[in-house]
Each structure stands twice: as C-alpha cells, then as structure tokens.
C-alpha cells in the first residue's frame, strides 16, 4: 500500500462537482491509519483461520450437523441413480424434496466416485464461500477505482463476508443455500458493468453469462428470485429495452426448465418446491433475526446505507445498491417464515460487504464526486470547507469500522491449541456447545444452533445409534438420513417436507400412519419431531422410548414397538 | 422508453416510484376493504408491505427535484 496522493480523483462526467479539496496527508495520520488497518486485517484473518478449522472439523464429521443435511445427500444419491427426488410422498418411502436440483446435480460425480458421504458436499459449500468472498473483493476493487487502497479494502471486504457469524455458521454445511450465494454474487458482479460495454458482442456474452448465473442461483435455491428481481430492476433503470428482451428470454428459459421438471415428476415438483414453500410468517422470528443481523453487521451496514444514499442522490444507482435494499427487505421478510433462519440474510450480507467496501475505499482514496443538484447545494456545499477535516477523520474511522465489526462478530473456540491462549488473553468465556464462544448467541426465533466444533464423543454417539439400527432386521424410521445411509437401508420420509405439506393440506399421512400402527418399523429415531401431528401421535401411541443418545448437542430419542 | 439510448432520469424514476408506491399502498390497504370477511385485519406482512410502499413513495418524491440526471 502506498501513501494516498494529495490529489482528488474524479472519474465521472463533467456534470460532477468535486467535494473534497486537495490536501496532503500528514505522516503521523498516515501511520496511525496503517497500524489500524493492520489490526483490522489481523482480526479478520484470525476469523478466517477459525473458519477453515471449523470447516475441516465438519468435513470429517460423518453425520448430520445441521438438520436436513442428510436429505440433501439423499437427493444427490437419487440424481446419481437418474431418479427425481420429487416423488409421491404419500407412497412408500414417503420421500420428497423441496429444493431445486442444481447443487445436488453438481455433486453427482462425487456420489459416483465416493458413494453417500457428507464431506464432498461440505467441501463444495466451503469452496463456494471462498469463491463468493473472492468475487466480493474483486467487486470492491473494480468499483473503487482499482487503486491499492481499493485492493486492500477489497481484501477486508471478502474477509468480512467470511467473518460474519451467519456465513460462518452455514458456510461448510451440506446445504444448497451456500452455492446459491456464490451464483448470486457472481451474477451480480458480472451484470454490474455489462451495460457499459460498448462492444455489442462482448456485452451480449457478459449478459448471457450473468443471466446464466442467475438461472443457476435460482435452480440452486428459490430464494435467489429476489436477486433476479434486483438485477432486472437495475437493467430496467439503465436501459428498459434491453432489460425487457433479456428478461423475456430469462423468463422463457426459466419457465421452460420448470415445466420440463414438473412434467417429468407428474406435478410433484410444483407441490414440493412451490406449494410447500408457502409457510406461516412468524413476526417475532422476523424481528429477532433482523435485530441479530443489525447487531452483528451494524458497523458495515451504516456505511453501506450511506453509500446507497450517496448513489441515489448524488451519483448513478448501481446494481449493488439495488441488490442490497431488495435482498435486505425481501430476504429479511422471508427469514420470518417457518423453517427459515439467519441464513436468509446471507445475500444481504454479501451486498453489505460490497457497498461498505466501496464506501471505505473511496474515503481512503478521497474519491468523492457529487452531482450538482439541489441536495448538493443544501447538504454538501455548507460543509465543503470542512472536507479536509472529514477526509482526515475518515482515514481513521474506516479501519475502526472494520475493527468494530471484528468485535461485533466475535466467534472462536475457547479450547484447543492456540485458541485457548487467545481466549484467555481476551477473557472470552464459552457461551455455546463444546467450549465455543459466539457473539450471535442462540439464534432468535429460529431452531438453528450451530457454529461449534464437533468432538470425537459426537462421532462415537453417532455410531452408537448406527449399532442400534444394525440390531434390527425391520425397517427403520429415522428423522435423519445419515443412519439409514450408513447402514445401506431405505431412507424413509423427509419429515420437514411431510410437515409443511401437511400444514398446507397437501399431504395425507394415512399410509405412513398405517405402517406405524402395524409396527412395521423396528426402530424409530427422533431428533426434533418435525413430523406432522398425526404421525407424531402414531409414534407415541405404538412405540416406546428405550434409549436417549446425545450427539452434537441434540438428544436423539430411540423408540421400539410397544409390546 | 423502448429506444436503444433511453435511460431513466432521476425525475422519471422518482415519478415511477411515486406511482408504484401510491397504487401499491392503496392495493395492499384495499385488500381488507374488498375482502371484508377476512379475519385478523391488517396482518404483519401487510404492515411491512405498507411501510415499504410508503417509503418508496417518499423516495420517489425526493428524486423528482433531481431532474434529468441519469438514474
């Protein structure tokens, strides 16, 4: 990094008005700024180390860590056998899937090579977060003028994304949500400057790639629809004609794929991916998660909002601003639906990191230009003489924002070589499972309780349950797929799918309840009892608990037929 | 609007947001007036939508004075 030039760069049109007068930067101020930036980098790099260790801990864990991971693996296995997972849930084995297929299809080659294993899905997700972080860093670097300050702040922005408790929690999970982030971020970064490409052929290639990535995101998880709205909205503002024709093409291809899958699955695709996703809105959960999101990311949200307002009133609105506001409002509302959680804020966090990064880099570059308009005259002109002072303050405030963010998202193990010593130095006491400290605490209103490391005792407990499965010759009804997959038995039901379809009146549990009444299952394994009420009642009536095994913080209840 | 070189100005975007905000607000609020038998009155999702649409209306109004600056 080099000492900032005393010159102010103006990279826009003649309509623009430079706000910050040219002033040299004093050596002591420059030194303080460099030291603070170094501290901020060290903090975020530490979280990156924690993230890598956590990822490798999970990658070697052979059971479900987060509820539902095993069913994602079942989807992969079904695709690897050229079967749709969107099957008739009212017939044995009562299995269905509520997620689009792309993530699972991408993992099929691993399934052919290694069979049903958790590690490759988690590794893929982990790698996806690294790609997303790299794209965020590049976006900041490009939008902030490709300067050395921009590259450094870009690095901080990418690390800030990975340091978010929310991204950390879910990054290495066998879940489709994470690759969706990757495709979303890549699509937005590709489309951000597509309309500025003067060469028609290159512009079309870029738009094609951007829309392809949007489709990939949508067919990884439905939530990406909000990112598509932001992207189309941006293109519409910039050039309605182009947005219309590209949007039409996008809709035709997207709908075509949708209809093709729906026809191939006898309509089960519609029932399970659309009907099943119309879920109850829980205001307390939505509000709790919104507060959590702000509490953890406020140090970056404030500059992101300031930069968005700057673009709205003093410059051109970028795709990042539109993406930030749409993802925050719509994904935030979706986070309040049953079964959703903090992960729904992931897209907003990516946009926050980009916008706050551009803001930070432009402050350090002293690269601000303002459209000459009424708001400029009212809000900017009276303070113009203070610009050198603001610029000097900004040089210190920017690194402090990242340091403050680092404090807000604090999460680390308090045991283990290196981590224990750091926890002792900063007097960090564990507040989560297995000696982990997490400033997010237990997530408000949602069921997820993740982020801690697994232990050998957790793995041993899992294999203890496997032993019980091996001890029966009859069918096994397990709320998690891992125990059936490891013992090469039929995976029977996906409880959450049954539950939510039951809630919307699209599931008749008679056949499953009849099997329970006839005690056709030799063993029932429960973790959260996510089955529909009639199924839970039948389990309670015809099966009795005989063992309770604690694994990964959850009590697994094992039941056998009542005599 | 469908010319190749057309791009929204701040004023046009402001007007568009203003219209969407007002019409959307009326539509969301009107759900309860049309469907009078519905239980629960204005629900939480409706309230959030009304808030967002009101914000959009205000944003639209504040953009109108910015004239022909490109949005």
For residue A497, the number of C-alpha atoms closer than 13 Å in the C-beta half-sphere is 27
* pTM, full prediction: 0.93
- Identify whether A535 is part of a domain: yes
- Chosen from B4, B5, B8 to mutate, greatest number of chain A CBs within 10 A: B8
- Asked if the structure places residue A277 within a domain, the reply is no
- Report the distance separating Cα A178 and Cα A167, nearest Å: 9
Q: Residues, chain B, total?
A: 71
Q: Are B1 and A317 inside 8 Å of each other by CB?
A: no
Give yes or no: residues A398 and A259 share one domain.
yes
What's the structural domain count of chain A? 2
Residue B34, pLDDT score: 76
Give yes or no: residues A520 and A395 share one domain.
no
Listed residues A405, A421, A436: the one ending a domain: A405
Which residues form the domain of A556?
456-561
Pair A266, A339 in one domain: yes
Q: What is the ipTM of this complex?
A: 0.92
Cβ partners under 8 Å of residue A341, min gap 6: A289, A335, A443, A446, A447, A448
Query: What's the CA gap between A375 and A314, in Å, rounded?
Result: 8
Residues A480, A401 share a domain: no
Best CA proximity match to A485, nearest among A46, A143, A154, A115: A115
How far apart are the CA of A363 and the nearest CA of chain B, in angstroms? Answer: 23
d(CA A399, CA A390): 15
Whether A44 is in a domain gets the answer: yes
B→A interface, C-beta within 8 Å? 1-4, 6-8, 13, 43-45, 48, 52, 59, 62-63, 65-67, 69-71
Do A40 and A149 lie in a common domain? Answer: yes
Which of A195, A232, A234, A239 would you mutate first to test chain B, the one with the most B CBs within 10 A? A239
> Residue for token digits 């099929």?
A108
In a domain, A306, yes or no: yes
Last residue of a domain, one of A371, A386, A405: A405
Is residue A448 one of the residues assigned to a domain? no
Which residues of chain A make contact with B17, given a CB cutoff of 8 A?
Answer: none
**Minimal-distance CA residue of chain B relative to A328:** B52
Q: Is residue A415 part of a domain?
A: no
Given CB atoms, is A286 within the 8 Å cutoff of chain B? Answer: yes
* Residue in chain B nearest A309 by alpha carbon: B59
The chain B residue lying nearest A283, using CA atoms, is: B44
Q: Do residues A331 and A221 both lie within one domain?
A: yes
In chain A, helix, strand, coil percent, each to 5? Answer: 65, 5, 30
Same-domain status, A127 and A205: yes
Angle at A281 between CA A279 and CA A284, to 5 degrees: 145
Nearest C-alpha neighbor of B6 from the set A311, A14, A143, A195:
A195
Choose the closest CB to A283 out of B1, B44, B69: B44
Residue A326 CA: distances (Å) to CA of A113, A114, A207, A225, A228: 40, 40, 21, 11, 10
Residue of B nearest to A332 (CA): B48
CB contact under 8 A, A244 and B66: no
Q: Are residues A362 and A503 in the same domain?
A: no
**pLDDT in 10s for each residue of chain A, 563 residues:** 444 443 333 334 344 444 455 567 788 999 999 999 999 999 999 999 999 999 999 999 999 999 899 999 999 999 999 999 999 999 999 999 999 999 999 999 999 999 999 999 999 999 999 999 999 999 999 999 899 999 999 999 999 999 999 999 999 999 999 999 999 999 999 999 998 999 999 999 999 999 999 999 999 999 999 999 999 999 999 999 999 999 999 999 999 999 999 999 999 999 999 988 888 889 999 999 999 999 999 999 999 999 999 999 999 999 999 999 999 999 999 999 988 889 999 999 999 999 999 999 999 999 899 999 999 999 999 999 999 999 999 999 999 999 999 999 999 999 998 999 999 999 999 998 899 999 998 655 555 578 999 999 999 999 999 999 999 999 999 999 999 999 999 999 999 999 999 988 899 999 999 999 999 999 999 998 999 999 999 999 999 999 999 999 899 999 999 98
- Tens-place pLDDT, residues B12-70: 999 999 999 999 999 988 887 777 656 667 788 888 899 999 999 999 999 999 999 99
Peptide bond into A285 cis (omega under 30): no
Q: How far is A202 from chain B, CA to nearest CA, in Å? A: 17
Give the model confidence (pLDDT) of A504-541 as tens digits. 889 999 999 999 999 999 999 999 899 999 999 999 99
Which candidate from A237, A312, A329 shows the least CB-CB separation from B52? A329
Residues A343/A440, Cβ–Cβ less than 8 Å: no
Residue range A45-62, pLDDT digits in tens: 999 999 999 999 999 999
Residues of chain B contacting residue A318, judged by C-beta atoms under 8 Å apart: none
Check CB contact under 8 Å for A373 and B8.
Answer: no
Last residue of a domain, one of A386, A405, A424: A405
User: Which two tokens mark A520?
Assistant: 């056709």
CA dist A453 and A436 (Å) reads: 7
**Residues A377 and A472 grouped into a single domain:** no
Distance from CA of A446 to the nearest CA of B (A): 18
A163 and A24 in a common domain: yes
> Does a structural domain hold residue A450?
no
Determine whether the interchain pair B62/A244 forms a contact, defined as Cβ–Cβ distance below 8 Å.
no
Q: What pLDDT is recorded for position A459?
A: 97
CA dist., res. B4 & res. A198, Å (int): 13
Q: Is A386 on the interface with B (CB under 8 A)?
A: no
Is the residue at A243 inside a domain?
Answer: yes
**Spacing of C-alpha A404 from chain mean position:** 22
Distance CA B62, CA B24 (A): 18
Q: How far is CA A388 from its chain centroid?
A: 39
Angle at the Cα of A9 (from A7 to A11), degrees rounded to 5? 170
Encoded tokens for A484: 């059936």
Tell which phi-psi region holds residue A553, choosing left (phi > 0), alpha (psi between -120 and 50) or beta: left
**Residue A257 per-residue DSSP state:** H
A474 and A376 co-located in one domain: no
Provide the phi-psi class of A339: left if phi over 0, else alpha when psi is between -120 and 50, else beta: left
Using the Cβ of A200 and the Cβ atoms of chain B, whether some distance falls under 8 Å is answered with no
| Nearest CB to B71; choose among A237, A286, A329 | A237
Tell me how close the Cα of B60 comes to any Cα of chain A, in angstroms: 11
A375, B66: Cβ pair inside 8 Å?
yes
Same domain for A179 and A258, yes or no, is: yes
């Amino acid at each position: 990094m080099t000492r900032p030039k005393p010159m102010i760069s103006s990279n826009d049109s003649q309509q623009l008005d430079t706000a910050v007068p040219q002033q040299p930067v004093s050596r002591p101020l420059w030194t303080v700024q460099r030291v603070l930036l170094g501290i901020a980098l060290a903090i975020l790099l530490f979280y990156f180390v924690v993230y890598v260790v956590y990822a490798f801990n999970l990658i070697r864990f052979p059971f479900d860590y987060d509820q539902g991971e095993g069913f994602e693996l079942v989807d992969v296995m079904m695709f690897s056998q050229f079967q749709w997972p969107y099957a008739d849930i009212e017939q044995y084995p009562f299995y269905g899937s509520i997620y689009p297929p792309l993530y699972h299809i991408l993992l099929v080659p691993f399934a052919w090579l290694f069979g049903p294993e958790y590690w490759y899905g988690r590794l893929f997700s982990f790698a996806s977060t690294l790609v997303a972080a790299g794209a965020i860093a590049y976006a900041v670097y490009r939008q902030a003028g490709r300067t050395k300050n921009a590259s450094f702040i870009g690095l901080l922005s990418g690390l800030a994304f990975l340091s978010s408790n929310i991204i950390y929690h879910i990054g290495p999970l066998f879940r489709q949500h994470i690759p969706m982030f990757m495709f979303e971020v890549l699509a937005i970064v590709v489309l951000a400057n597509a309309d500025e490409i003067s060469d028609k052929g290159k512009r079309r290639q870029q738009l094609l790639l951007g829309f392809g990535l949007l489709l990939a995101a949508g067919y990884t998880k439905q939530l990406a629809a909000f990112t598509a709205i932001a992207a189309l909205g941006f293109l519409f503002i910039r050039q309605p004609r182009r947005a219309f024709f590209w949007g039409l093409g996008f809709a035709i291809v997207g709908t075509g794929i949708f209809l093709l899958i729906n026809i191939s699955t006898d309509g089960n695709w519609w029932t399970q991916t659309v009907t099943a996703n119309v879920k109850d809105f829980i205001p307390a959960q939505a509000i709790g998660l919104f507060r959590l999101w702000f509490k953890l990311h406020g140090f970056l949200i404030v500059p992101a909002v300031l930069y968005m307002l700057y673009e709205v009133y003093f410059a051109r609105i970028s795709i990042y601003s539109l993406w930030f506001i749409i993802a925050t409002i719509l994904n935030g509302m979706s986070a309040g639906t049953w079964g959703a959680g903090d992960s729904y804020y992931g897209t907003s966090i990516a946009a926050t990191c980009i916008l706050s990064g551009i803001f930070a880099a432009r402050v350090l570059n002293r690269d601000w230009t303002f459209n000459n308009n009424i708001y400029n005259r009212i809000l900017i002109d009276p303070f113009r003489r203070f610009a050198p002072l603001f610029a000097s303050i900004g040089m210190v405030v920017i690194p402090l924002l990242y340091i403050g963010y680092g404090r807000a998202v604090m999460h680390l193990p308090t045991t283990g070589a290196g981590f224990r010593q750091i926890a002792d130095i900063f007097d960090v006491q564990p507040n989560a499972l297995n000696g982990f400290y997490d400033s997010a605490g237990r997530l408000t209103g949602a069921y997820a309780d993740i982020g801690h490391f697994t232990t050998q005792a957790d793995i041993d407990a899992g294999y203890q349950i496997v032993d019980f499965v091996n001890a029966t010759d009859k069918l096994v009804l397990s709320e998690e797929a891992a125990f059936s997959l490891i013992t090469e038995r039929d995976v029977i039901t996906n409880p959450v799918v049954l539950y939510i379809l039951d809630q919307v009146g699209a599931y008749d549990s008679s056949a499953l309840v009849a099997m329970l009444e006839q005690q056709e299952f030799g063993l029932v394994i429960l973790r959260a009892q996510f089955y529909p009420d009639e199924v839970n009642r039948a389990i309670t009536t015809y099966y009795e608990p005989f063992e309770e095994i604690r694994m990964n913080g959850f009590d697994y209840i094992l039941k056998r037929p009542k005599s | 609007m469908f010319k190749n070189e057309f791009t929204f100005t701040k004023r046009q975007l402001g007007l568009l947001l203003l219209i969407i905000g007002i019409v959307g607000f009326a539509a969301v609020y009107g759900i309860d007036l049309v469907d009078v038998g519905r239980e629960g009155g204005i629900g939480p999702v409706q309230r959030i939508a009304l808030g967002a649409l009101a914000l959009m209306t205000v944003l639209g109004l504040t953009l109108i004075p910015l004239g022909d600056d490109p949005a």
